[in-house]
């Protein structure tokens, strides 16, 4: 699959929260983020509801735990960047489960924040796009039976299966709805007729 | 090097005395890291002479308690030599500040070294932005001060079909990425994009592509001999086919200044450049008699450093963040981004000299393009 082009976000005025105890790492990261143009706040030991208005979360992977985020484990609604000091496998595992999209190694120095922001944003967007695509495919899979019924109904009027299929596609286009929604509409509309024919 | 008349024998130990009513100067070593040979030596020489002129000025100024002793090292145009040579300055001498680097490649090589030693690099060359090191001061222009105003000028005037060239390293790559983004966002089209290794003179393919693509303008981010060769070949193309005369399809540059005009000769005629200074333009710190913006930006860097150190004993050993924090934003350096507020001038080479077409007086450097959401078009004035 061809990778889509990365979108360089405009970070001017974007809000970042650093979920980390007061530390030189927070200072260095704040300097970098402010230079880039973000508004930065620090939070510890947990994230309040203000997190829902943020654009990026940087969180401590060393002392972090699930309860410090105000959302279901691993379901962050915004890009998350892990601040990793200890590279112990258990901590890496936890930060991945928490849903991190990028990481920065501690101690944070003079650079790294900009690439972490761009990578986290891109990974988050890609994840969102994939989730949306998967749930759409799942829905279409669920509705496959409806499509088969609609095609059968249309074919029952003397069309071949291929003609019925093409007709359904044209209807969907004319109604400006999805193929599956058009099928559902036909099944619903012809449900009574269908019943009668079965009775007859 | 000229020393100030009041640099008494007991200067140099960091103490300032009043002797016969004049300040005794603290002698402060200052690193100069310029390649005096190699493909971009003309720019190095321009920056170096700007820095040396400022040093002479400061050393002769009886009102300042500082004098600079230059510590010069020459990486010979080899990008890989910059890091080690800069380390030599910071490790083996008392210098904590280094003025130098021309290419972005060399600047990126030097940053880990200045970070490691708590030093500061003063960088006086236009660059591609997207950087704000805690250990670098950027005294020349970044894209919102060169490329974006230049594109805003060219597209209404000539059209939106572009051909992009560059030397094969980060300056060319990033300039062309940003140009492509802005041109396509404005409904324009990039017809071609081609790079040459630094020092290469193989411009034939580019010229042929231009001949067939027939763009409205060309963005030239080549450096050194590649650029000289390209400009000469393009001038020849313009004599063959008038669609490629500079008044019809101009070449744009954000890195050509007066210091390279002798190497370009008549091939520079009609080139349109953006920069913070062109010869003869008023309103620049100092007398404004600089040969080029490279010279002016290096001069301004050294003058600003002297101002930051003056009257603050021991400050020569402070990191940049501490120097700026104590200064409370009085100087030219933005304490957040370490970039500077500069004039933006768009100028065309006519009769061997740049003639200003448009000018903005004071545009703050916005390295990540996050502070100014649009280019400063509303405050422009036309210079005729």
Domain count, chain A: 2
Looking at the domain assignment, is residue A52 inside a domain? yes
Distance CA(A80)–CA(A78), nearest Å, equals: 6
**Number of CB pairs, chain A paired with chain B, less than 8 A apart:** 40
| Residue boundaries of the structural domains of chain B | 18-141+281-341, 144-278+343-382
Percent of chain A exceeding pLDDT 90 equals 76
Q: Which of B112, B113, B79, B77 is nearest to B95 (CA)?
A: B113
- Identify whether residues A120 and A177 lie together within a single domain: no
Strands A80-84 and B18-19: unpaired
User: Is it true that B18-141+281-341 and B144-278+343-382 share their CATH fold?
Assistant: yes
- Identify whether residues A133 and A147 lie together within a single domain: no
pLDDT at B10: 38
Q: Which of B295, B339, B323, B344 is nearest to B45 (CA)?
A: B295
* Confidence band, pLDDT 50/70/90 cuts, at residue A199: very low
pLDDT at A7: 74
Cβ separation of A11 and B373 shorter than 8 Å?
Answer: no
Looking at the domain assignment, is residue A1 inside a domain? no
Residues of chain B with pLDDT under 70: 1-22, 283-288, 373-384
The 3-state DSSP class for residue B272 equals: strand
Domain boundary among A137, A155, A189: A137
pLDDT at B288: 64
Q: Which of B208, B272, B212 is nearest to B246 (CA)?
A: B272
pLDDT at A196 over 60: no
Query: Residue A33 belongs to what domain range?
Result: 15-137
Answer whether A110 touches B (CB < 8 Å): yes
Looking at the domain assignment, is residue A47 inside a domain? yes
pLDDT at A157: 81
Give the domain B144-278+343-382 fold. Answer: Rossmann fold (3.40.50)
Residues in chain A: 200
Query: What is each CA distance from B171 to A115, A190, B8, B295, B307, in whole angstroms?
Result: 18, 65, 45, 20, 31
* Confidence band, pLDDT 50/70/90 cuts, at residue A170: very high
pTM exceeding 0.95: no
pLDDT tens, position by position, B43-76 = 999 999 999 999 999 999 999 999 999 999 999 9
According to DSSP, the residues that pair with A84 across neighbouring strands are A105
Domain boundary among A137, A160, A182: A137
- Identify whether residues A80 and A112 lie together within a single domain: yes
- Identify whether residues A68 and A112 lie together within a single domain: yes
Provide, as residue numbers in chain B, all residues whose Cβ is less than 8 Å from the Cβ of A109.
115
Domain B18-141+281-341 in this protein, CATH class:
alpha beta
Query: What is each CA distance from A20 to A27, A65, A98, A104, B328, in whole angstroms?
Result: 11, 12, 15, 13, 28
Q: Minimal Cα distance from A30: which residue of B?
A: B336
- Identify whether residues A41 and A120 lie together within a single domain: yes
pLDDT tens, position by position, A37-92 = 999 999 999 999 899 999 999 999 999 999 999 999 999 999 999 999 999 999 99
| Residues ≥6 apart with Cβ < 8 Å to B302 | B30, B50, B51, B54, B55, B58, B68, B99, B122
Virtual torsion, Cα A115, A118, A119, A121, nearest 10 deg? 150
Domain boundary among A137, A155, A171: A137
Looking at the domain assignment, is residue A9 inside a domain? no
pLDDT at B379: 43
Residues in chain B: 384
- Identify whether residues A38 and A98 lie together within a single domain: yes
- Identify whether residues A111 and A159 lie together within a single domain: no
Q: Residue A36: which of B134, B338, B368 has the nearest Cβ? A: B368
């Amino acid at each position: 699959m061809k990778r889509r082009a990365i979108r360089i976000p405009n970070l001017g005025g974007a809000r970042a929260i650093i979920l980390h105890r007061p530390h030189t790492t927070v200072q260095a990261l704040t300097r970098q983020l402010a230079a880039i143009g973000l508004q930065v706040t620090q939070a510890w030991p947990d994230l309040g509801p203000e997190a829902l208005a943020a654009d990026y979360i940087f969180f401590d992977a060393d002392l972090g735990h699930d309860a410090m985020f105000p959302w279901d484990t691993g379901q962050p609604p915004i890009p998350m960047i892990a601040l990793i000091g200890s590279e112990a496998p258990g901590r890496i595992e936890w930060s991945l489960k928490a849903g991190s999209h990028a990481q920065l190694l501690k101690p944070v120095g003079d650079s790294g924040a900009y690439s972490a922001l761009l990578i986290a944003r891109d990974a988050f967007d890609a994840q969102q796009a994939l989730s949306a695509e998967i749930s759409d495919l799942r829905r279409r899979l669920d509705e496959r039976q409806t499509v088969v019924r609609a095609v059968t109904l249309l074919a029952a009027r003397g069309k071949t299966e291929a003609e019925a299929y093409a007709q359904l596609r044209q209807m969907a286009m004319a109604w400006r709805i999805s193929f599956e929604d058009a099928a559902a509409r036909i099944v619903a509309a012809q449900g009574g007729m269908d019943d009668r024919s079965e009775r007859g | 090097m000229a020393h100030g008349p009041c640099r008494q024998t007991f200067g140099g130990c960091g103490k300032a005395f009043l002797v016969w009513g004049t300040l005794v100067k603290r002698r402060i070593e200052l690193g100069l890291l310029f390649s005096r040979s190699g493909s971009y030596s003309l720019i190095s020489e321009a920056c170096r002479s700007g820095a040396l002129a400022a040093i002479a000025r400061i050393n002769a100024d009886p009102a300042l308690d500082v004098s600079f002793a230059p510590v010069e090292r020459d990486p010979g145009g080899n990008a890989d030599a910059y890091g080690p040579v800069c380390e030599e300055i910071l490790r083996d001498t008392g210098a904590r500040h280094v003025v130098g680097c021309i290419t972005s490649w060399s600047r990126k090589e030097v940053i880990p070294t200045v970070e490691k030693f708590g030093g500061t690099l003063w960088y006086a060359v236009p660059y591609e932005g997207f950087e704000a090191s805690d250990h670098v001061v950027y005294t020349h222009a970044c894209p919102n001060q060169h490329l974006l105003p230049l594109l805003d000028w060219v597209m209404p005037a000539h059209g939106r079909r572009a051909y992009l060239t560059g030397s094969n390293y980060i300056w060319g790559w990033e300039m062309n990425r940003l140009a492509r983004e802005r041109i396509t966002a404005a409904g324009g089209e990039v017809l071609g994009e081609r790079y040459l290794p630094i020092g290469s003179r193989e411009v034939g393919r580019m010229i042929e592509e231009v001949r067939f693509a027939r763009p409205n303008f060309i963005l030239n981010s080549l450096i050194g001999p590649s650029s000289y060769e390209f400009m000469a070949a393009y001038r020849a193309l313009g004599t063959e086919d008038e669609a490629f005369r500079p008044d019809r399809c101009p070449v744009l540059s954000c890195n050509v200044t007066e210091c390279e005009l002798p190497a370009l000769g008549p091939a520079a005629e009609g080139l349109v450049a953006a920069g913070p200074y062109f010869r003869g333009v008023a309103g620049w710190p100092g007398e404004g008699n600089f040969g080029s913006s490279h010279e002016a930006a290096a001069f301004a860097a050294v003058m600003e450093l002297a101002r930051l150190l003056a009257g603050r004993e021991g400050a020569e050993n402070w990191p940049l963040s501490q120097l700026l924090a104590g200064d409370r934003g009085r100087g030219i350096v933005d304490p957040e981004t370490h970039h500077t507020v500069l004039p933006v001038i768009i100028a065309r080479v006519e009769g061997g000299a740049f003639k200003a077409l448009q000018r903005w007086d004071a545009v703050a450097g916005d390295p990540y393009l996050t502070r100014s959401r649009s280019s400063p078009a509303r405050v422009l004035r036309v210079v005729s």
